[in-house]
Amino acid sequence: MRKVFYVFSLIAMSVMILESCTGGKKQGAQGEATDTVAVAAAEDSSEWMVLFNGENFEGWRGYNRQDMPKAWTIEDGAIKINGSGQGEAGAKDGGDIIYDRKFKDFELSFEWKVSEGANSGVFYLAQEIPGEPIWKSALEYQVLDNAKHPDAKLGKNGNRQSASLYDLIPAVPQNSKPAGEWNTGGIMVYKGTVVHKQNGENVLECHLWTDDWKKLVEGSKFKGMEYIINVGGPDHEGYIGLQDHGDDVWFRNIKIKILD
């Protein structure tokens, strides 16, 4: 509490100083933020850790390997998976990738864009299990072209459409943008509570490790999978990953805020 009070006190002091110099008036033309908002935004941005710098793969590697698969490239400041066109079979040197650090309670923010008919996902709370694919131990924020990929019509009640907790909970409202346009995504995990965001709206909430969670898993394709039932393992933490599902997909502005 002292830390939070101190941060807000700093913001308040900055605002008072700024207003004494500018009278608290808006700067610039229509629609621009006030100086007060700019100060608060600057304070807030300091809490975020950038996971992708737009220039190289620092911090990233292939799942169950130490290097980066060559099917992943950087294009116009975004991470791109260059699809093989073979679905989950992947490219010659493709496969899923992870950020090389585990996270527990966090808020993740990112942008994503898909080609027509494309499928991908953002994994979280993943474990690295030799000989097993990442999806067997991770939760997945679905990334999908809802209009053309058949997964949008599979599962139950739309729980395989974009921003859904894949095959478990549908994203409502479903507000994704068409293929070729950028979407904003978000994932929050805090003491077992999970929230997904899409294009500025909260679209689902669930609570891990509860009896309801176990029933939900047992009614899905993950039935009987202990790594999903007890997702995050004994320490309730795991890797963040990006999926190679064989299609062209882009990710950018990936950042995370640790929630202590």
Query: How many structural domains are present in the chain?
Result: 2
CA distance from start to end of the chain: 11
Q: Are 91 and 98 in contact (CB under 8 A)?
A: no
Expressed as residue numbers, the domain containing 66 is: 49-258
Contact 60, 99 (CB under 8 A): yes
- Please give the average per-residue pLDDT across 239-246, as a whole number: 97
Q: How far apart are CA 260 and CA 105, in angstroms?
A: 7
SS3 assignment, position 64? coil
Q: How far is CA 209 from CA 36, 122, 145, 156, 193, in A?
A: 41, 20, 30, 21, 10
Whether 49 and 257 have beta carbons less than 8 Å apart is answered as: yes
Looking at the fold, whether 62 and 186 belong to one and the same domain comes out as yes
- Tell whether 79 and 201 lie within a shared domain: yes
- Domain identity same for 185 and 251: yes
Q: Are residues 39 and 54 in the same domain?
A: no
Residues 140, 189, single domain; the answer is: yes
Residue-wise pLDDT for 104-130, tens only, equals: 999 999 999 999 999 999 999 999 999
Q: Which residue has the higher pLDDT, 55 or 33?
A: 55
Weakest-pLDDT range from 26-40, 49-63, 72-86, 211-225:
26-40
Band of pLDDT at residue 46, cut at 50, 70 and 90: low
Clarify whether residues 124 and 166 are in a common domain: yes
Shared domain for 6 and 127, answered yes or no, is no
For residue 35, the model assigns a pLDDT of 46
Quick one: tokens of 131?
């000989």
Q: Residue 86's pLDDT band (boundaries 50, 70, 90)?
A: confident
Cα-trace Rg, the chain? 20
Q: What average pLDDT does this structure show over 82-96?
A: 86
Tell me the C-alpha distance between 111 and 259, whole Å: 21
- Are residues 9 and 85 both part of a single domain? no
What's the pLDDT band for 29 if we cut at 50, 70, 90? very low
DSSP 34: B
Q: What's the pLDDT at 90? A: 72
Residue 110 shares a structural domain with residue 127: yes
User: In terms of domains, do 171 and 105 share one?
Assistant: yes
Q: What share of the chain is helix, strand, coil (3-state, %, to 5)?
A: 20, 30, 50
CA distance 141 to 161: 9
pLDDT tens-digit profile of 69-82?
Answer: 999 999 999 999 99
- Closest C-alpha among 203, 227, 205, 229 to residue 215: 229
- Identify the CATH number of the domain in which residue 109 sits: 2.60.120.560
For residue 17, pLDDT over 50 is answered with no
**How confident is the model over 194-204, as pLDDT tens digits?**
999 999 999 99
H helical segments located in the chain: 2-22, 35-45, 211-218, 226-229
pLDDT band for position 21 (cuts 50, 70, 90): very low
Tell whether the model's pLDDT for residue 28 goes beyond 70. Answer: no
Task: Over range 141-170, report the average pLDDT.
Answer: 97
Residue 69: per-residue pLDDT: 97
Regarding whether 37 and 131 lie in a shared domain, the answer is no
In 3-state terms, what secondary structure has residue 63? Answer: coil
Please give the biggest Cα pair distance in the chain. 63
**Same domain membership, residue 86 and residue 17:** no
